[in-house]
Amino acid sequence: MKKRSAIILAGGKNTRMGINKAFLKVNQTKIIDYQVDTLRSLCDEVIIVTNKPEDFEYLGVSLIEDLIKDRGPLSGIYSGLSVATSPYALVMACDMPYLDRKLIEFMFKECSGYDAVVPVSYRHLQPLHAIYSKNCLKPIIASVENLTLKVSSFYNQVSVRYISETEIKNFVNPERAFFNINTPDDLRLYLQRFSN
């Protein structure tokens, strides 16, 4: 099996939630603890990109600060990919409380011949639940330097395998797979719909 990396982006300002979203609890478990445990079983290394590495030291994973500050998730992806020891890395937002192992395995299997593997759900790209290769580094840094910070801004410069909603539904409900928690209302909604 080829080596795999996982990158969790935990550098946001959390303004809408008021507290660090990574440490919200779902079913008595912090989201970040759940993500790290799940990704350790799927990948050879887990990297957290954060501007407060001291908060995450207890997890025993690789920690890196943004190499370029205040440039949003695109800078986080660049920072994580820069230190990843694998040619491909799954990139995940820290506020996603559910990871589907079978979907992630499928995405890694689809990497061959592509620079990125990106799910599409309800006609929306899911760039923070996607796989990127190191071939993306140059176009990403060009976008960051040009202040073109939309995560998908560089997709037209690389080869992308889009995972269709039909394919996603073979593994998981897309709404659950890509649910992210930005506000207290989002947390309540997730718990109402999906919590066991």
> Is residue 196 very low, low, confident or very high in pLDDT (cuts 50, 70, 90)?
low
Kindly tell me if the per-residue pLDDT of 194 is higher than 90: no
- The C-alpha torsion from 42 through 156 and 120 to 160, rounded to 10°, is -40
Which has the closest alpha carbon to 81: 39, 116, 37? 116
Q: Which fold has domain 5-194?
A: Spore Coat Polysaccharide Biosynthesis Protein SpsA; Chain A (3.90.550)
What sign does the CA torsion over 41, 44, 50, 54 have? positive
**What residue spans define the domains of the chain?**
5-194
Q: What is the pLDDT of residues 32-47, one digit of tens each?
A: 999 999 999 999 999 9
Report how far residue 94's alpha carbon sits from residue 104's, in angstroms, rounded to the nearest whole number. Answer: 16
Mean model confidence pLDDT for the chain: 92
